[in-house]
Copies of this chain bind each other. A is one copy, B any other.
Amino acid sequence: MTSEVLTILEKDGKVQKGKDPNLSDDRLRLLFATMVKARILDERGLTLQRQGRIGFYLQALGQEASHVGSAAPMLDSDWFFPAYRQPGIPLLRGAELDQIVCEWFGHQGDPSKGRQMPVHYSLRSINFVSISSPIGTQISQAAGAAMAAKIRKEDTVFMTYFGDGGTSSNDFHAGLNFAAVYKAPVVFICENNQWAISVPASRQTGSETMAQKAVAYGMPGIRVDGNDVLAVYRVCQEAVDRARKGEGPTMVETVTYRMGSHSSSDDASRYRDEEEYERWKQRDPIVRFQEYLARRKLWTAEWQAELEQEFKDQLNAAIKRAEAAGKPELGSMFDDVYLKPSAQLLAQRTQLQSLGGAADEEIGEFPL
């Protein structure tokens, strides 16, 4: 066990010798483009919230390398049990932008039919399991899905995400324990962004690192520089391979930083120092990766400007469509409780429909 952090990207885009995962040029550019898009998505999301057009938003600012780098080694047939701070994964895997944006509005076109707060995606087309708010619950679910794949002798690999705060949850303990006992093909990604809303990682646990928690379960625990997309990729590629080969689970701690507030409801300046932010800004994962790419002549300012513009255009168009799509119709509220609505649900739907229209706007007078 060590508290050492694997870093590959050094100052000015240099790399540590012998550690480069040697990705193809296309792959490198894809990772970069995805990180840039994720940041744009986050920017627009928060803006829409500030404009009062959507009800809530939550950014992954500064954590783009951590989640894009870890997700990249996964095959299309592999599954994610995400937390709420991995917007780059849907972008990386080519999910439809309309589905994402409709979810923000809770409007028609949202695969989850307006049932959840913004950024709680469900994207079955890319094996991205419905996000839920309760912290940690996805961890043991991912372990279980991996147990199932193993029982069925399928070689699917599972990856699940959680924060430093998430390591304190019941499901962290249960999920890692079960995964290790059954040697399930799952990779646990702890994105240690140093904060759980206002609680610093140092008050979250008495352990020096999150990775060392893996010792409790007898599984490898690896610490990696979460703002270094190459290092994250490398470590996760190894973990995914290990899982696929039947060698069991791995926990990876990506050491990173939440550069924004927790969410649109939070104001980090109430509880943390500007200075800490400034320190981490020096390690911005997009800038570091860009320097590396530039050094390898894989990046130009024009290329980036172009991909940004293209993505912004797509996004704007999607937002326009989503905003216009309107809320799900009243009756849909009673669907999907069960495969078929119960008699009770049918009666309740009829009763609500008989009142007519939405109470949404002004509440009319009910004749007594």
Contacts and interface: CB of A to CB of B under 8 A. Distances in A.
A365 to B, nearest CB: 40
A59 to B, nearest CB: 28
Contact of A1 (B1, B205, B213): B1
Given A168-B174, A170-B173, A172-B173, A204 B216 contact: no
Nearest to A212: B215
Task: Report the copy number of this chain in the oligomer.
Answer: 2
Nearest to A217: B206
A267 interface: no
A208 B207 CA distance: 20
Interface string A158-173: 0000000000101011
Contacts of A215: 1, 207, 212-213, 215-216
Interface string A131-151: 000000000000000000000
A315 interface: no
Contact of A177 (B1, B168, B181, B212): B168
A218 interface: yes
Interface in A16-62: none
A206 B170 CA distance: 17
Contacts of A218: 205-208, 212
Contacts of A248: 206
A219 interface: yes
Chain A: interface secondary structure?
Answer: helix
Of the four ranges (under 10, 10 to 19, 20 to 34, 35 or more), the interface on chain A belongs to 20 to 34
B216 A203 contact: no
Interface string A209-245: 0001101111100000000000000000000000000
Interface in A186-211: 203-208
A180 interface: yes
A150 B36 CA distance: 49
A183 B206 CA distance: 9
A183 B202 CA distance: 13
Contacts of A204: 181
Nearest to A204: B181
Contacts of A173: 168, 170, 172-173
Contacts of A207: 180, 215-218
Nearest to A183: B206
Contact of A205 (B168, B177, B203, B206): B177
Nearest to A179: B206
A98 B117 CA distance: 59
